[in-house]
Amino acid sequence: MSSTSSEKQILGLHHVTAIAGDPQSNIEFYTRVLGLRLVKLTVNYDDPDTYHLYYGDKLGHPGSILTFFPWPNAPRGIRGTGQATTVSFLIPENSMQYWKDRLKENYVKVEEQGKRFKNEEEFLTFYDNDDLKLELVSTGSNTRSAFTPWEKSPVPEQWAIRGFHSVSLSEEGYERTASLLTDTMGFRLVDQEGERFRYETGPGGASSYVDLLCQPELLRGEVLVGTVHHLAWRTPSDEEQKAWREDVIKAGCNATPVIDRRYFHSVYYREPGGVLFEIATDPPGFTVDEPEEKLGSSLRLPPWLESSRKQIENALPKIELT
């Protein structure tokens, strides 16, 4: 019999966290242009003078959550190795033209359109207001089971973003990262095309992919405005999270203790190529401190910061929720 810890599986992406500049412009881009829901308005628990903005589907299902720390006065970062350099969203089949038109109408910088993996996957590369590199991906076959449309989205449900498709990591050399993914974290190599190596985890399909891009010619990345800070992988329970923590430590990574992030519990470690990984629990989720219909409508603080609310609110830049 194999042990419980060898049967555990990472279920896919939980969330991706990036650095933005101006919070208002970030809110408008992700809610009005991309049609995601702001599911939580809170602060960075490690730096409470900074907002933490969470976007996702109606409920903020794991696998749909893109979050930002807005640093309005910080310079642009460098997109480069040791970073997640592209965040890709899944869109429904036959919706590419809708999105091309929508991005154009909203003056979004669109860079490239193409196909990957024997033409099975169509992608459109574009940038948010802070130059964060994003993609829309249509595959024809992948649908997400845990997706709840947000009925107030400006994007009609038939075209709506279905959560993440994948995240691409730029690496100077990919072997040690690949080995952590397959030998320790249970990922499987499923495809390769040029410099791109695709791995999947858990049930496979959209939101379970990570693409390693072997790009030694790129500069080393610098995490500032317009770059990804870290990405988080899903685990269903605290018990499995504890086992993952032990496994990655055995594999030579320095992992943090379990940290309470209110909506999930987190363990952080850096993979050998330099990208900051997190293992995050699915529970308790975003309805732990406000009801479903009110998600993201007011500033939520964890109990340990509630006594400093006045001071925190005064220090935060003013924003308008649209």
Q: Which residues of the chain form contacts with Zn ion (CB under 5 A)? A: 17, 232, 278
Our CB check for Zn ion shows the closer of 135 and 278 to be: 278
CB of 282 vs Zn ion, minimal distance in Å: 13
Residue 242: phi and psi, rounded to 5, are -60, -40
CB of 266 vs Zn ion, minimal distance in Å: 6
Unique residue bearing structure tokens 């010619």 = 217
Please say whether the beta carbons of 249 and 255 come within 8 A: yes
CB of 173 vs Zn ion, minimal distance in Å: 26
Our CB check for Zn ion shows the closer of 123 and 244 to be: 244
Our CB check for Zn ion shows the closer of 41 and 214 to be: 41
Residue 258: phi and psi, rounded to 5, are -70, 130
CB of 45 vs Zn ion, minimal distance in Å: 10
SS3 (DSSP) at 259: strand
CB of 256 vs Zn ion, minimal distance in Å: 11
Nearest to 234 by CA among 43, 16, 52: 16
Our CB check for Zn ion shows the closer of 33 and 275 to be: 275
Nearest to 184 by CA among 4, 10, 3, 2: 10
Our CB check for Zn ion shows the closer of 197 and 277 to be: 277
Our CB check for Zn ion shows the closer of 214 and 232 to be: 232
Unique residue bearing structure tokens 């790009």 = 215
CB of 230 vs Zn ion, minimal distance in Å: 6
Our CB check for Zn ion shows the closer of 247 and 278 to be: 278
Pairing of strands 110-116, 259-260: unpaired
Residue 190: phi and psi, rounded to 5, are -115, -20
Our CB check for Zn ion shows the closer of 124 and 228 to be: 228
CB of 232 vs Zn ion, minimal distance in Å: 4
CB of 278 vs Zn ion, minimal distance in Å: 5
Distance CA 79, CA 215 (A): 12
Distance CA 142, CA 204 (A): 10
Unique residue bearing structure tokens 């460098």 = 78
CB-based contacts of 132, cutoff 8 Å, min separation 6? 18, 20, 87, 226, 227, 228
**What tokens appear for 113 in the block?**
């359109």
